[in-house]
C-alpha cells in the first residue's frame, strides 16, 4: 500500500465511518474522526471564539480557518511518519484545498480518496433505520434531508477536486460491510 493519507468520503449512511475504522485497524494509521478531534481540541476551538458543543450539535460545517486551526493543532501531535485516515472530511472545496496544503507542509505526499458511493434513496433509508435502532437525535427526517442536501451541494462538487489532486477510487457502498471492506482493501492493495 502506497499512501500516507486516505480520505474516506460518501454520503451519510454510506458506512464511511465503519470503513475508516476497519482500515485504521488494518493499517495502524491515526483515525481522524472529526467529532473526536473537535472535542480533543476544544481549547483551540474556544480560542478562536467557536463553541465545540454547538458545532457538534448543529452539524455546522467548519469554516476553512476553523479547519486549519484544528488540523494544525492536531497534526503537531501526530508523528510525521504515521499515516492518517480522514473520515468524511473535507466536505467542500475550500476545506480540501486548505487541508491538502497543510498536509503537504507536514511532509505528506501520497493521498488516496475512497468514495463509498450510495444512491441518495439508500442513504435516506439507512439513516431512518439507524434513527429507529439508535434513537439518534440528528436522524430526524428533516435533519437527514438537510444533511443529504448539504452533501449534494458542497461535497459532490468537491469530489472533482479530489479526483484531480489525489488517487481517487469509487466503491459501491450497497453490499455488506465485509464485502465493501474487502473491495477497499483490494483497491488500496492492502494484504490481509
- Count the Cβ atoms, other than its own, within 10 Å of residue 49: 7
Cell of 55: 458545532
Cell of 39: 472535542
Percent of the chain at pLDDT exceeding 90? 56
Residue 17 has pLDDT above 50, yes or no: yes
* Residue 21 forms part of a structural domain: yes
pLDDT of residue 30: 94
Cα torsion 55, 58, 63, 64: sign: positive
pLDDT of residue 54: 61
Q: CB of 74 within 8 A of CB of 30?
A: no
Give the angle 25-162-141 at the CA atoms, nearest 5°.
75
* 102-146 tens-digit pLDDT: 999 999 999 999 999 999 999 999 988 888 888 766 668 888 888
Percent helix, strand, coil in the chain, to 5, is: 55, 15, 30
Residue with grid cell 483551540, as numbered in its chain: 44
Cα(77)–Cα(174) distance, integer angstroms: 36
Give the count of domains, the chain: 1
pLDDT of residue 49: 44
Cα(76)–Cα(110) distance, integer angstroms: 19
Give me the chain's average pLDDT, please: 85
Cα(64)–Cα(59) distance, integer angstroms: 15
* Residue 161 forms part of a structural domain: yes
* Residue 189 forms part of a structural domain: no
Percent of the chain at pLDDT exceeding 70? 81
* 58-112 tens-digit pLDDT: 555 567 777 677 778 888 889 989 999 999 789 889 889 989 999 999 999 999 9
pLDDT of residue 46: 52
* Residue 126 forms part of a structural domain: yes
Lowest-confidence segment of 16-25, 33-42, 67-76, 164-173 by average pLDDT: 33-42
* Residue 137 forms part of a structural domain: yes
Higher pLDDT, 36 or 62: 36
What's the average model confidence in pLDDT over 43-72?
61
Cα(189)–Cα(15) distance, integer angstroms: 20
* Residue 165 forms part of a structural domain: yes
* Residue 187 forms part of a structural domain: no
Eight-class DSSP state of 171: E
What's the average model confidence in pLDDT over 21-36?
89
Q: What is the domain-level CATH number for residue 100?
A: 3.40.50.300
* Residue 99 forms part of a structural domain: yes
Residue 80 structural domain: 5-182
Amino acid at each position: 500500500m502506497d499512501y500516507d493519507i486516505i480520505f474516506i468520503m460518501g454520503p451519510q449512511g454510506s458506512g464511511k465511518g465503519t470503513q475508516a475504522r476497519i482500515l485504521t485497524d488494518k493499517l495502524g494509521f491515526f483515525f481522524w474522526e472529526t467529532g473526536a478531534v473537535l472535542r480533543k481540541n476544544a481549547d483551540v476551538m474556544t480560542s478562536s471564539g467557536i463553541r465545540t458543543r454547538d458545532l457538534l450539535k448543529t452539524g455546522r460545517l467548519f469554516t476553512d480557518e476553523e479547519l486549519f486551526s484544528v488540523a494544525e493543532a492536531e497534526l503537531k501531535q501526530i508523528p510525521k511518519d504515521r499515516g492518517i485516515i480522514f473520515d468524511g472530511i473535507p466536505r467542500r472545496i475550500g476545506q480540501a484545498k486548505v487541508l491538502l496544503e497543510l498536509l503537504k507542509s507536514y511532509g505528506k505526499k501520497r493521498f488516496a480518496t475512497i468514495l463509498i458511493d450510495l444512491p441518495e434513496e439508500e442513504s435516506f433509508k439507512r439513516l431512518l433505520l439507524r434513527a429507529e435502532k439508535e434513537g439518534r437525535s440528528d436522524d430526524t427526517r428533516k435533519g437527514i434531508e438537510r444533511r443529504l442536501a448539504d452533501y449534494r451541494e458542497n461535497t459532490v462538487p468537491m469530489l472533482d477536486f479530489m479526483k484531480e489532486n489525489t488517487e481517487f477510487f469509487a466503491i459501491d457502498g450497497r453490499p455488506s460491510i465485509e464485502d465493501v471492506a474487502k473491495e477497499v482493501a483490494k483497491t488500496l492493495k492492502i494484504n490481509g
